[in-house]
Amino acid sequence: MADLLVLVRHGESSWNAGRRLQGQADAQLSDRGREQARALRPVLADLPAVQVVSSDLSRALATAELAGHAAPLTDRRWRERHMGDWTGHYESEIPDDRMTAFRHDDLVPPKAETFADVQARVGAAIDDLAGRGGSWLVFTHGGPVRAAVAHVTGADHRAVAGPGNTSITVFELAPKRRLLTFNWAHDAGAIPRASEPGGARIAVSAATGDARRA
């Protein structure tokens, strides 16, 4: 059976709802975010056995708990990108040209992390989990999800769109690293499974963790 890495972006925070730049500020889930997190529970219950890790920020931890995974291990490397002097500002307060340049990674806010820094710490966290073996479920943030895609696939992070709240992204860590599912909306049904070359779909039994060709 393949070792998987399943990344879940946290539910909507009060700052997401207000289009406020939060970075590593510890914003709480909104009421909608809490509903989104609860809706993850039956979907994640269909996963094979996983070990659970979370960013230590409360919006990720609350998402994990409401999704049925209370008291996960925490790892600061899965935190969102630090926004420096822009932390707490509303997007409307930032001039449009500067906001656009930031989103295209042509501008780093004063005292903020570069995306290269984010990708380095997320990549190290992924390599550590892969080295420990087994499958992992990680509750994290949009920036680290993009960084993970870039780290595993070698893609330019600027070509990776930001994932939605409580979206699911799945990687295979072993026997080889590859992206299986990106920015999947959990209200669309069961998490898609990868297919092998030739189109044979690999189905995984939640009860046994055994893989079989479907």
Three-state DSSP class for residue 52: strand
List, in order of start, the domains of the chain with CATH numbers: 3-213 (3.40.50.1240)
CB atoms within 10 A of CB 15: 20
Percent of the chain with pLDDT over 90: 81
Predicted local confidence at residue 194, as pLDDT: 65
Least confident window among 124-128, 159-163, 190-194: 190-194
For residue 196, name the pLDDT band (cuts at 50, 70, 90): low
The residue that leads in pLDDT, 148 or 104, is 148
Task: Extract the tokens encoding 151.
Answer: 């780290």
The residues pairing with 5 across neighbouring beta strands, listed in sequence order, are 136, 171
141, two tokens: 């943030």
**pTM reported for the whole predicted model:** 0.89
Q: Residue 188 — very low, low, confident or very high, per pLDDT cuts 50/70/90?
A: low
Confidence of residue 72 (pLDDT cuts 50, 70, 90): very high
Q: With a cut of 80, say whether residue 189 has pLDDT above it.
A: no
Q: How many CA atoms lie within 13 Å of 54's alpha carbon, on the beta-carbon side?
A: 20
**What are the catalytic residues?**
10, 80
User: Which amino acid does the sequence have at 5?
Assistant: L
CA–CA dist 119, 14 (Å, integer): 26
Answer whether 124's CB lies under 8 Å from 77's CB.
Answer: yes
Query: Strand 51-54 vs strand 73-74: parallel, antiparallel, or unpaired?
Result: parallel
Phi-psi region of 154 (alpha: psi -120 to 50; beta: other; left: phi over 0): left
Average pLDDT, the chain: 89
22 versus 201: which is more confidently predicted?
A: 22
DSSP-assigned beta bridge partners for residue 201: 195
